[in-house]
Amino acid sequence: MKTPSLWIIAVACLVTPASLAHARSAYDGSWDLVFVTQTGTCDPAYNFTVNISNGVVTHPNLVKFKGYVAKSGSVRASVTVHDKFASGTGRLSGTSGRGRWNGSAAGTRCSGYWTAQRN
């Protein structure tokens, strides 16, 4: 069953790095994300925007979200929304990025890739 709130899980897949950045990051700013589902019964794609500040990735509507970008551009993130969870890794480079994500919701698993474009 497809669930629209699974896009929230996908957001997690964007961004938590190998090293936590505490100073202004080269990746700070607004980024548009596209998450594409390749396996599982999630919606085919999710689109939304996140903000990176001092290497910390945030989304205004997600409370249980942890995302970080290392100075190298390596990203790692996770999010939990009710019984849904997702995590992902990847890399940002200049004005774009990409990576992989995995998630679960109500006993089903989904996975795919994500791309990012700086606003």
Least confident of 9-13, 17-21, 104-108: 17-21
Cα separation, 68 vs 106, in Å, equals 27
The amino acid that residue 21 corresponds to is: A
pLDDT tens track for 20-71: 444 688 999 999 998 898 999 887 888 888 999 999 998 888 768 889 999 9
What is the predicted pLDDT for the residue at 13? 46
Nearest to 56 by CA among 29, 32, 86, 93: 29
Q: Which class does domain 6-118 fall in?
A: mainly beta
pLDDT tens track for 63-116: 688 899 999 999 999 888 787 788 999 999 999 999 999 998 778 899 999 999
Question: Whole-prediction pTM value?
Answer: 0.77
What is the predicted pLDDT for the residue at 41? 82
Domain segments of the chain: what residues?
6-118
Nearest to 91 by CA among 70, 65, 112: 70
What is the predicted pLDDT for the residue at 45? 84
What is the predicted pLDDT for the residue at 24? 85
Q: How far is C-alpha 106 from the chain's CA centre?
A: 20
63 Cβ contact partners less than 8 Å away, ≥ 6 residues apart: none
